[in-house]
Structure 1
Amino acid sequence: MATSIKIDDTLKSRVHQLANQRHRSPQGMIQEAIEQYIEREEARERFKQEALASWQSYQETGRHLSGQEVRTWLNTWGTDDEKQIPECHK
């Protein structure tokens, strides 16, 4: 599906200048920029939805880990005494 977008002359000039410096086509640069933006925003939305689901679960069950419990667990990562994730509790 082809889609056209309008950009102002200043941005168009910047895209063309950078594309020339990188030996790429302006269209390729624009497509890559849009893809990176969409991927970043999709990841941000997944993170937000996961956080909302976690908050909902906490409100329903009260089960959680404290920040100190998580830090203590993470501090064992990569050591000979690496621990399993602690159990959530009320």
Structure 2
Amino acid sequence: MPAQTHITPTSIKLPGELRDRLQNLAKARKRTPHALMLQALETYVTREEQWEALRQEALAAHEAFMLTGLHVSAKEADDWLAELEAGNDVEPPQCHI
């Protein structure tokens, strides 16, 4: 995790069973529940940020397609990927309308 420059206290209400599971896991890992929660939140937020970036990229690609009509067919993409998989360094197919 990156170094924290400013830490703000935040409370979270956990259901009793989850709190117990967290405490048991922390004890087994010789870490604090706080450390496990920070790690879990960091992992979750990073993954969700990456997912959102991918979603935004897909939306932008779709918008570009809707505006221009430029595309490659599934067969063209599959053929290109097959060449790459075979170890051939080939250029990607040209986009067309």
Partners of 1:16 and 1:67 in 2: CA distance:
50
Whether 1:47 and 2:54 are equivalent positions in the alignment is yes
1:42-64 CA-to-partner distances (Å, cap 9, x unmatched) read 11111111111011000000001
2:13 matched to which residue of 1? 6
Partners of 1:84 and 1:59 in 2: CA distance:
24
TM value normalised by structure 2: 0.84
Q: Report how many aligned residue pairs link the two structures.
A: 90
- Where structure 2 has 5 or more consecutive residues not aligned to the other structure, the ranges are 1-7
TM value normalised by structure 1: 0.90
Partners of 2:9 and 2:30 in 1: CA distance:
23
1:3-82 aligned at under 5 Å gives the runs 3-82=10-89
Q: Higher mean Cα deviation, 19-28 or 71-80?
A: 71-80
Partners of 2:87 and 2:33 in 1: CA distance:
51
Partners of 2:54 and 2:18 in 1: CA distance:
31
Report deviation, 1:27: 0.6
- Where structure 1 has 5 or more consecutive residues not aligned to the other structure, the ranges are none
Partners of 2:93 and 2:9 in 1: CA distance:
50
Partners of 1:38 and 1:80 in 2: CA distance:
37
2:3 matched to which residue of 1? none
